[in-house]
Amino acid sequence: MDEKQKKEIAVFRYSVISDLVYWRPVGLQRLSDVIHRKADQQWNIPYSDRCTVSASTIKRWLNAYLINKDIKSLYPQSRADNGSARVIDDETAAVLIQTRKQYGDIPITEMIYIMDQKGLLPLVEPPSLSTIYRFFKNHGDLLNKVPKTDRRRFEAEFPNDIWQSDVMHGPKLKIEGKLRKTYLIALIDDHSRLILNATFYLKENLDCFLAALKVAIMRRGIPRKIYVDNGAAFRSNHLAYIAAALQINLIHAKPYSPQGKGKIERFFRTVRGSFLSEQLILELLETNHPLMEFNERFSVWLMDRYQLKKHSSTSEAPLERFKNGIEMVRPAPDDLQSYFRKAAMRTVTKDRVVHLDGKLYEAPVDLIGERIELLYHNDTNPDVEARFDGKSYGILKLVDPGVNVKIKRAKYNAEIILETTKNHVNLEPGKLFNKKRRTS
């Protein structure tokens, strides 16, 4: 880990304990209560897929900073016990126990693979295979001491009441001469088990998830709730804004408790066991557009072998069960594309220009000096809409410096008059608008 990464981690740790450094009791409030409330919060932790910090870890960070009064005391420390048996911390131990209870008596190596794919192991110095074997050998009794959780099967009453979404790590395909890992982003309707959209991508980021979500809504309508994981792609303010605008309740799964997404996990097992095969991957490696063809084959399989096939849990085909409750489906709006635009705040400069992603856009004269909202898509759609004080000012135009050279602005109004003469007349500074110019 380099110095820059250590600094980012130290700054994050200080943000967690900053209000505790000079903490004073208020009423009956205790420091331990404040720390435990922080432990119940969810955080965007640098270089980690985790979203929570244990109370013991927060106390350790606070003590280290109070003793040293130096931000470097919050740097991640390299292990000083190389070569000796490593002790697993309480947080990792809890994750190991939960995962072991969930997947039963599968081989430890397979369990570790599942944890690694789901990002449940610490990214910095994860425990070795031998350490995990030793942990279960020495603490096997802990599996029987974990309190039982009341988990009951549930099913949404109507189509689009609840959607579940998750990401499955797919096979590697040769893309432009290089092996690239694929990710299957899927959304399933809880009531009917219909797969609303399932597509393989080369990334599992927010843009890919939003692309999958938009297609699902266009095809099947707007859900009332979406149940997602705690990954970075699902913890985005942009996603939360889109969900709120479409009146969707976005629900995040409790960390380390994937049981609530059992239906989408079951679908992923079907994909692995039925669709994916070594022969199929070998065939795709020989094609010029493997990802495109891979998704085309997957779409055919999905319709023939899943959507139209009787589901074991409902005794109905997912597509038929969804259609039987179609009157409960809320259709997608005609302007669905506009709901997925990103938003940015910019101040209009004196020459009525706003900057966005390295480009300059012309804003109306009335907005000079105002801080306005820009709504825009990705690189494939260059339209940028300006909004101010609840009013739309339309789509902005890219600045063309070549045209602007030939434009003069009236002194007493907002008109823009194109210079039509071919001859350029040099005016003294300060006298540009003192006289009316004759145009030919």
pLDDT at 91 over 50: yes
Residue 439 tokens read as 């145009």
pLDDT at 261 over 60: yes
Residue 268 tokens read as 């992923």
Beta-carbon neighbour count of residue 108 at 10 Å? 15
**What is the DSSP track for 273-339?**
III--HHHHHHHHTSSSHHHHHHHHHHHHHIIIIITSPPTTTSS-HHHHHHHTGGG-BPPPTTHHHH
pLDDT for the residue 125: 64
Contacts of 337 (CB under 8 A, 6+ apart): 214, 377
- pLDDT averaged over every residue in the chain: 79
Distance, CA of 202 to CA of 205 (rounded, Å): 9
- What 3-state class would DSSP assign to 408? strand
pLDDT for the residue 1: 63
pLDDT for the residue 147: 47
pLDDT at 114 over 90: no
Q: What are 409's strand-pairing partners?
A: 416
Judge whether 266 and 260 are in contact, CB under 8 Å: no
Of residues 64 and 124, more confidently modeled? 64
Judge whether 217 and 210 are in contact, CB under 8 Å: no
> In the structure, what pLDDT confidence band is assigned to residue 342 with cuts at 50, 70 and 90?
confident
For 38-47, 180-189, 208-217, 296-305, which range has the lowest pLDDT when averaged over its residues?
38-47
Model pTM? 0.56
Segment 253-266 shows an average pLDDT of 69
Residue with tokens 């981690």: 9
Tens of pLDDT, residue by residue over 128-152, are 777 888 887 776 655 554 444 444 4
Beta-carbon neighbour count of residue 167 at 10 Å? 23
Give the helix/strand (H/E) hosting 227.
strand 225-228
Segment 362-391 shows an average pLDDT of 85
Judge whether 160 and 221 are in contact, CB under 8 Å: yes
pLDDT for the residue 405: 43
pLDDT for the residue 436: 47
Number of H helices, E strands in the chain: 15, 14
For 33-47, 69-83, 380-394, which range has the lowest pLDDT when averaged over its residues?
69-83
Tens of pLDDT, residue by residue over 25-40, are 666 668 888 888 888 8
Judge whether 383 and 376 are in contact, CB under 8 Å: yes
pLDDT for the residue 122: 67
* Nearest Cα residue to 309 out of 192, 415, 196: 192
Distance, CA of 101 to CA of 128 (rounded, Å): 20
> In the structure, what pLDDT confidence band is assigned to residue 164 with cuts at 50, 70 and 90?
very high
